[in-house]
Structure 1
Amino acid sequence: MEINLSTDINNISWEDLARVFELAPLGKRRDPEKLEMAFRNSLLKVFAFHGTKLVGAGRALSDGVWRAAIYDVAVLPEYQGRGIGSTIIRHLIESAKVDVIMLYAVPGKEAFYEKFGFRKMTTAMAITPSEEEARERGLIE
């Protein structure tokens, strides 16, 4: 199966991407308009296609010098386990060209990201819209 990566944001169906995030699963259904804004505002973004079908994506924020943060790496369940997520992560890491790359991930995926050299941080903290929900999902202590 041939998977093609694209960084071209202009031909993305944001409805299709919202579906990828919902099915991956990365939490609640995301508003396609907000997804578009988030990806357009990210310095780095990549989309994975099987033919014309959008099957995965990822993005990263970066200052382009010292720090980057990877967010929203998602692959459709029927395409998981085929190296697509790894290809997306490698693309974002290599494109970042910074000293430190942080990662925001779904709890339980740590072993996957450790393969790329990511390690848990002891100093990361967050403010969330719902502290109770974030605690229930295992995002904060």
Structure 2
Amino acid sequence: MKITYKQTTDQITTDMLEGFFDGWPSPPSTDKHLELLQKSSHITLAIDENTQQVVGYITAISDQVLSAYIPLLEVLPDYKNNGIGSELIHNLLDQLKGLYMIDLLCDAPLQEYYKKFGMQPVSGMCIRNYSKQNGE
């Protein structure tokens, strides 16, 4: 398996984004997925060179002065445990390395995973409008 990484949605089509948001009760469509990638300030995509499918992605939203927030990281189930998620994180953190703060919210069981990348647990607050989960 040969995976390439890119930081742009150039030549990415909605049919290359099938299978993401696994387990979400109301997932975004592939059109909305492409739109969220295009509107994110920073992205990295993992592409399987054999199938030309996007098999993983990570996004960041940033003011590009002091701060960034990483809302999404996902690797397709068949590609997990191959280092793709780690490579996506390393690539994105490299893009954000000049910023003061990089924030990410995750469930407690995932905190150990993110500690490997120099992140530390902090307290936070959030609002989740589940009726808007699909981006409509």
TM-score norm. by structure 2 comes to 0.81
| Cα distance in 2 for residues equivalent to 1:21 and 1:107 | 20
**CA shift in 2, pair 1:120/1:14, >3 Å:** farther
Output the TM-score relative to the length of structure 1.
0.79
Any idea what SS the aligned residue of 2:86 has?
helix
Distance in 2 between residues matched to 1:14 and 1:104, nearest whole Å: 27
Letter aligned with residue 31 of structure 2: E
CA offsets 1:45-75 (integer angstroms, 9 cap, x no match)? 1110111121101110111121111121100
Distance in 1, Cα, partners of 2:15 & 2:120: 33
Question: Is 1:18–1:30's contact at 8 Å kept on the other side of the alignment?
Answer: no
Return closer, same or farther for 1:18/1:61 CA change in 2, 3 Å cut-off: farther
Deviation at 1:81, TM superposition (A): 1.0
User: Counterpart of 1:11?
Assistant: 11
Match of 1:139 in 2: none
Q: State the 1:35 CA deviation.
A: 1.8
Provide structure 1 residue ranges, at least 5 long, that are not aligned to the other structure.
131-141
Specify every segment of 5 or more residues in structure 2 that has no aligned partner in the other structure, as ranges: 131-136
Equivalenced residue count is: 127
Alignment map for 1:22-61 (pairs within 5 Å): 22=22, 25=23, 27-28=24-25, 29-51=27-49, 52-61=52-61
Is the contact between residue 55 and residue 79 of structure 2 (CA under 8 Å) also seen in structure 1? yes
Q: Which has the higher contact order (CA 8 A, sep 6+)?
A: 2
Q: Secondary structure of the residue that 2:19 maps to in structure 1?
A: helix
- Counterpart check, 1:129 vs 2:134: no
Q: 1:89 to 1:34 in 2, by over 3 A?
A: same
The root-mean-square deviation of aligned C-alpha atoms, in Å, is: 2.0
Provide the C-alpha distance between the structure 2 equivalents of 1:118 and 1:39, rounded to a whole number of angstroms: 23
Shift of 1:118: 1.4
Q: What letter is aligned with 2:126?
A: A
